Amino acid sequence: MNDRRIRSLAIVGGGTAGWMAAAALSKSLAGMGIELRLIESAQVDPIGVGEATIPPIMDFIRQLGIDESELVRDIKATYKLGVGYRDWTRAGHFYFHPFGPAGPGIGNVPFQAYWLKMLLEGRAERLEEYSIQTVAALRGRFARPVHAPNTPLNKLTYALHFDAGRFARYLRGYAESRGVRRTEGHVRHVSVRGSDGFVDSVMLETGESIRADLFIDCSGFRGLLIEGALHTGYQDWSQWLPCDRAMIVHSERSAPPNPYTLVTARDAGWQWQIPLQHRDGNGYIYSDEFSTDEAARALLLGSLDGRALGEPVALRFRPGRRKAAWSRNVVALGLAAGFLEPLEATSIHLIQRGIAMLLKFFPDRDFAAADIDRYNRMLESEFGRVRDFLLMHYSQTERAGGFWQHCRDIPLTESLREKIELFRSHGRILREETELFPVLSWLSVMVGQNIIPRRYDPLVDGLDPRKVQSRLEELRSSVRDCVEAMPSHWDFIRSGDSPAKTRCAPPTAARQPSM
């Protein structure tokens, strides 16, 4: 039998995407005898796809065997329990999108179903009151999960804010220590084989030609291999996602960092504030139809909490994705595969998913069409679900003004329309098995943006309403007690990993008594 194994793999481009791929592949492919090489140019300033993440990043870190406390110290990270939305639904309004679950179900009735019934009847508090992530975030508290069965402390869910450049450098050290060879250089030419259209090699400005069996394109928006050489094509999603500009600047921290990302709606888009240990990250995402770059720059600089640490950097982008992220022997990751926008911090996650799926369908030199087609369908589905979640934020708003009226007029995708209508009818949220955002995410954003069901799930009528209300009160009390046992977020970071004192009593709600 002919040996058709992949023997060489070249990653074109560094930054977050390139070094995430190098780190993951150097670990997962260890022992297979594959030469791993990463080509990047110091002359190209990589675009940090974001400094905020979502909980799956913790799985990536753990799978690499990285010590979390060491990483947090090295890359100046802070912890993230969710996202706070200020003035988004309407001026003066605030809601919180937390990570993790809220409360336990009762038999076959999920938490959101019985909470919604009580809310519609005026007998439940705001959703935030039942989420330990929300209460902790808004009080500036943090702790990692501890073994405290039947308490909210047992299922604390979190992500990280970090300096994207430091994260990439950390992963570079990890990858190089596992045999990845870095080559400094700028790609001048890509050679494509005439026989089958596969990429054969890339030539650097130095004249060096680098061949590989498999190429990973991490070259950013331009997609040097996936688009420049293979002409894969791009799906423009501007019809659903209205923003196409970004203005980014770092600023001095003016207060201890909060364990959440703050998102504030503006007249032509929205602004983020991401707190790190040594500075804040700030950005304004907007539509060029409703704001000039000069106006965006002035707004951003005029709304910082601390002194700007440089001049704002302006970026242009087209929201969308490659028609095929894997074509022939090239797999695109990061901005080369597509970019939606930073809202809900999904960019790094989509890199992570692309890497995970590549390992799931890792090829030999025959590059089976069935594997490539399946990979592309799965990634298209991932991008589409994220698009729908982002579109819901924009389209379901009460804000006044030309930009926000434009957002309300955006036609919904059929998948999002179904999602919203199912919720409006009886508060039902159906989630596909591999869908990124959990039920609580959809619930938090829909209720936060004033999408309220007309009726509740009829199954809740089988529960004793007095016991349901008692359960909600016990859960709310347990959340408050557990948060009180946590250290402040800043104290936790400075101490390394100070645990929460487990003095919060387990709510009887968690024991799910018969009703």
Q: How far apart are CA 436 and CA 448, in angstroms?
A: 19
Half-sphere exposure of 390 (CA within 13 A, CB side): 26
Is residue 46 within 8 A of residue 169, CB to CB? The reply is: no
Kindly list the distances between the CA atom of residue 128 and the CA atoms of 82, 97, 101, 262, 452, in Å, as whole numbers in the listed order.
Answer: 11, 8, 11, 16, 15
Angle CA(460)–CA(125)–CA(155) in degrees, nearest 5?
80
Angle CA(122)–CA(125)–CA(131) in degrees, nearest 5?
150
Assigned token pair, 8: 């060489």
Assigned token pair, 91: 């001026």
Query: What b-and-e string marks burial along 62-85, b requiring 16 or more CB atoms within 10 Å of the CB?
Result: eebebeeeebbebbbbbbbbbbbb
- Among residues 76, 80, 360, 501, the one annotated as catalytic is 80
Q: What share of the chain is helix, strand, coil (3-state, %, to 5)?
A: 35, 20, 45
Say whether 76 is catalytic. no
Is residue 113 within 8 A of residue 125, CB to CB? The reply is: no
Rg of the chain on CA atoms, in Å: 24
Strand pairing report for 245-251 and 320-322: unpaired
3-state secondary structure 246-293: EEEEEECCCCCCCCCEEEEEECCEEEEEEECCCCEEEEEEECCCCCCH
Q: How far apart are CA 441 and CA 429, in angstroms?
A: 10
Tokens 């423009």 belong to 236
Is residue 137 within 8 A of residue 260, CB to CB? The reply is: yes
Assigned token pair, 427: 């508060």
Q: How far apart are CA 112 and CA 428, in angstroms?
A: 8
Query: Side by side, which strands form the sheet with 338-339?
Result: 234-236, 320-322, 338-339
Q: Which residues are catalytic?
A: 80
